[in-house]
Amino acid sequence: MPGKNLSREEARDRAAIIRVESYRVHLDVSAAADPGRPTFRSTTRISFDCAEPGATGFADLLAPEVVSVELNGIALDVAEVFDGARVTLPVLAAHNRLTVVAECAYSRTGEGLHRFVDPVDGETYLYTHYEPADARRVFANFEQPDLKAPFTFTVTAPAAWDVYANAVHERITEEGAARTWEFAPTRPISTYLTAVVAGPYHVVRDHYTRELPDGTLLEIPLAATCRRSLAPHFDADEILTVTKQGLDYFHQEFDYPYPFGKYDQCFVPEYNIGAMENPGCVTFREEFVFRSKVTEAAYESRANVILHEMAHMWFGDLVTMKWWDDLWLKESFADFMGSYAQIAAGTEYRSAWITFANRRKAWAYRQDQFPTTHPITADIRDLEDAKLNFDGITYAKGASVLKQLVAYVGPEAFFEGARAYFRKHAFGNTVLEDLLDALEETGGRDLRAWAAAWLQTSGVNTLTPEVTCDAEGRITELAVRQDGAPLRPHRIAVGLYDRGADGALVRTDRYELDVAGERTVVAGAAGRELPALVLVNDDDLTYCKVRFDEHSLETLRTGLGDLADGTGPDGGSTPSLARALAWSAVWNLTRDGLMPTRDYLDLVLRFAGRESDVGVLQSLHQQAATALAVYADPAHRAEYGAALAECALRELSQAAPGSDHQLAWARFLADTAERADHLRLLRGLLDGTGRIDGLDVDQELRWSFWLALAAHGAATAEELAAELARDHTASGRRQQTQCLAALPVPDAKAAAWAAVVDSDELPNALVEAQIAGFNRAGQRELTAPYAAPYFELLESVWAERSIEIAMRIVGGFFPRYQTTPRTLAATDAWLDAHPDAAPALRRLVLECRDDLARALRAQECDAR
């Protein structure tokens, strides 16, 4: 498989004969501020050994021009050895020195070395992002995770800039209008983990000190950076507080000193993902720098990501998977630790497991029911497969299974196994068996059967309570039925809930047990009076979909909001995990076409206003919007939408002034407003003629209101231009772009389509904004003409665009709101006619097809 798409077999063959001694990389970005310079000079020197002298090998490089290639002192003919993606290395010696000089391209897609110009002050910013295989866009290398080596970076940049990399800088040399930064060698790391960040970044510095068990002092310099124009909004103290709490906790639990020297956290523009765990130089999307009011859920999410990336310093950076099959060895662990550590490390965010149950697992359940689902330990044939496997299974299902494993072997055995794993495999690469060996040794359990059931099979089980009672209403038997193949072992809790004196539903009994096979009896429940509610998987110990017996489901229909909040360690009220689990369960019933959409929306209308956890509330808003857009019977869609908008207006007026809940309901009103009086209210809040006590209509909320007005034809392009002049920032430009694409006129849709499809000039952030504005649920008639052209462009988009942009086009422009059998037939026709299309492309289309078929089933259920 020649070209960009490195296969697993090629990587395995190369790793069998190549051992990399070191890299020295020099990047000259001194002219980066000149928009007329599309490339930068990259010089790479690699020292490596070959176990089979005389063999032919190859290095990876994606560059518009290679200036020279020298192998062991001999200049090679560039035209002969470079094909645009690989550098052929003929007749390797036992020890080799390779030097490649290239002109590499600045990126606008977030892949490789991304260049961004701040519209506020004209300053230029650079950062790299590589996972899984884009380091080859910046320097020549052996682009696979199991060929680790020390890296020494040297960067020449404008004199006014700062430069950050994985290691500390050792020397800075002035060279007129430029400075050259020389960094210390890193410890052995994989190519995808290297990083360079450069520009006039605002920086806040701090220091972390810890005494190690042997009495030595561990000192870690800390830094947090963002663009200068965002500095007034940068709450670095809060970020660094969570950072220190995490470092304290992970040192305590992992008992392995942080191995990468410094710890920089760089918040960068137009970032494609949440964050990336580059050792010593973690990069985050700058939307985590909040320039307007956000809810506590946003701060909790940011803390989770900070701890997630920090966990990677051990799970992923210190010990790395051999190939992307075992991607879960880092991502599942980091996803689990991000939630676990929020509570265990003593951060102020105490709702981590509620958020995990309600949001992260929803992602996993959706992904695991696609026809393209895969085991947590996946079969990754090539790099395109790897790119798509950064999904809900690798992250959230894997984290759920680890939570189950901790319940199965116990926390102490789990963490002691992790310590042994780090000590044995430090700076190396591992596979599943290496982790199982460590956990079996400390936990004393045979985990092979457990791993086979949980890690090496796909699909989600369903657990349903079966309750039989006698004539007096006492339980004669309570059992848990397991459906779905394969049947798995589950450690679960079953909670029984009844109404207290105040009418709240409170847990009166809890049974913890192992579920195995099709049916498991809950010992000890017989003889107890029938409770109001039986909640399987109480405390969310396992990964499963939960169903209810009819009596319990009727209790939820009339009293889901009555599930009581808990009491925290400080005596204060804490949001109810049980209520979050109930919301998750009824959402899965709706998605599966087992609960009519009208019933789910009725639950939202009646009980969302009583939800104390604002993160759960915001999830309910998103899910209600999805239910309305694609699961509702079209004949009743307008009726349901009007009811949701009225609910949003009512709850907005009743919410505590200035509260997170008030802000959440204001945003939901913007999402649901359709009637003229609702739109007039939004405009009044924008121009100051309207007011809601305590609601600060700041810049981000203004754009939410403008988007609602634009989508309903109640805003003009001139008004949106005026708002951009008010908010002449990168965020403002994205928001205005989305609003213009959302205008309900054919010209707006044609312009958005052409901007993305007919040109490759837009940066990633604006591609995303154009697609979001184009494909709106309430504009089905306007976007219907683009369904046929969508299927016609798929193969050319996949072949001609970078995979990041291709994925956005394929997923974003799919006609998901044309929820008709005709669209389903068109999708099937494309799949039938293109059996040999790229597997990753077919996977994306298959997943869109499955969402569409699910929507049609839900609509049928709602129409009955």
CA distance 735 to 726: 12
The values of phi and psi at residue 693, to 5°, are: -55, 120
CA distance 426 to 319: 6
CA distance 556 to 580: 12
| Coil, helix or strand at residue 5 | coil
CA distance 706 to 720: 8
Task: Specify the pairing of strand 263-268 against strand 65-71.
Answer: unpaired
Conformational region of residue 74, where left means phi above 0, alpha means psi within -120 to 50, and beta covers everything else: beta
CA distance 341 to 347: 8
| Coil, helix or strand at residue 198 | strand
Q: Count the helix, strand and coil residues of the chain and give each as a percent rounded to the nearest 5.
A: 45, 20, 30
793: Cβ–Cβ under 8 A, 6 or more apart, which residues?
A: 757, 809
In the chain, count H helices and then E strands. Answer: 29, 30
User: What is the signed CA dihedral for 165, 274, 240, 343, rounded to 10 degrees?
Assistant: -130
- The DSSP bridge partners found for residue 196 are 165
- From the number of C-beta atoms within 10 Å of its C-beta (0-12, 13-18, 19+), residue 483 rates as middle
Location of structure tokens 């859920």: 297
485: Cβ–Cβ under 8 A, 6 or more apart, which residues?
A: 459
- Supply the angle between the helices 597-607 and 614-626 in degrees, to the nearest 10: 150
Check: CB of residue 541 under 8 Å from CB of residue 488: no
- The DSSP bridge partners found for residue 533 are 497
- DSSP string across 360-416: IHHHHHHHHTSTT---SS----BHHHHHHTSSTIIIIIHHHHHHHHHHHH-HHHHHH
| Coil, helix or strand at residue 228 | helix
Check: CB of residue 43 under 8 Å from CB of residue 190: no
Q: Could you tell me which of 782, 696, 773 has the C-alpha nearest to residue 745? A: 782
What the block records as the tokens of 109 is 């897609």
443: Cβ–Cβ under 8 A, 6 or more apart, which residues?
A: 409, 410, 413, 414, 417
SS (H, E, C) 623-665: HHHHHHHHHCCHHHHHHHHHHHHHHHHHHHHHCCCCCHHHHHH
What the block records as the tokens of 270 is 């137009």
Q: Could you tell me which of 537, 564, 321, 524 has the C-alpha nearest to residue 429? A: 321
What the block records as the tokens of 179 is 């400075």
What the block records as the tokens of 573 is 């009220």
Which residue type, as a one-letter code, is found at position 722? A
CA distance 385 to 369: 18
Residue positions annotated with a catalytic role: 309
Is the dihedral angle over the CA atoms 760, 765, 766, 768 positive or is it negative? positive
Check: CB of residue 555 under 8 Å from CB of residue 505: yes
Count Cβ neighbours within 10 Å for each residue of 522-539 and write b for 16 or more, e otherwise.
Answer: beebeeeebbbbbbbbbb
Check: CB of residue 119 under 8 Å from CB of residue 733: yes
Task: Specify the pairing of strand 281-285 against strand 39-50.
Answer: unpaired
